């Protein structure tokens, strides 16, 4: 709690590095005046058992290296937006499950996710991670619409 009584938020921000990620994060953060910490999370999606047996440890490690570079770049961008405490994590597995696991740790007050803004049919498939997180999250979820 700050001296004025308003709670500072620690938010979880899952990212997939799709086009417009920096923009929706900036828009979302501009809507929240009391953000203290931003925890970026990138999940290397290995939630399909048919695929996971063909993915070697080398492929996963290469994905981690690439993701870490992109996360560091994103931290530099976010660091220019405000005096936030910044961190990042890279995980492997089902994105929705890992986001929900992080939300259940008690470390975060909110989740902020980007929404692609496509039509209903595409939303159903493309936004399935967001929909699952919204329906099962123990903390509020802010969905920031991406520009199409």
State residue 75's pLDDT score: 97
Q: Is the pLDDT of residue 82 over 50?
A: yes
Sign, CA torsion 60/128/18/10: negative
Q: Over range 63-68, report the average pLDDT.
A: 94
State residue 117's pLDDT score: 53
Domain 9-145 carries which CATH code?
3.40.50.620
Half-sphere exposure of 85 (CA within 13 A, CB side): 11
State residue 9's pLDDT score: 95
- Which strands, in side-by-side order, build the sheet including 110-115? 85-93, 35-45, 9-14, 110-115, 141-145
pTM > 0.95:
no
Q: Which residue has the higher pLDDT, 120 or 15?
A: 15
Token representation of residue 127: 């936004």
Q: Is the pLDDT of residue 46 over 80?
A: no
Residue 6 binned pLDDT confidence (cut-offs 50, 70, 90): low
DSSP element (H, E) containing 43: strand 35-45
Length of the chain: 148
């Amino acid at each position: 709690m700050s001296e004025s009584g308003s709670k500072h938020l620690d938010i979880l921000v899952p990212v997939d590095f799709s086009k417009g990620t920096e923009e929706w994060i900036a828009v979302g953060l501009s809507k929240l005046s009391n953000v203290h910490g931003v925890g970026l999370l990138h999940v290397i999606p290995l939630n399909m058992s048919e695929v996971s047996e063909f993915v070697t440890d080398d492929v996963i490690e290469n994905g981690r290296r690439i993701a870490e570079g992109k996360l560091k770049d994103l931290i530099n961008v976010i660091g220019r937006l405000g005096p936030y405490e910044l961190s990042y994590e890279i995980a492997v597995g089902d994105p929705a499950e890992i986001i929900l696991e992080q939300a259940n740790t008690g470390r975060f007050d909110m989740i902020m996710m980007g929404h692609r803004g496509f039509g209903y049919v595409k939303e159903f498939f493309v936004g399935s991670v967001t929909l699952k997180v919204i329906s099962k999250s123990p903390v509020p979820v802010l969905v920031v619409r991406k520009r199409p």
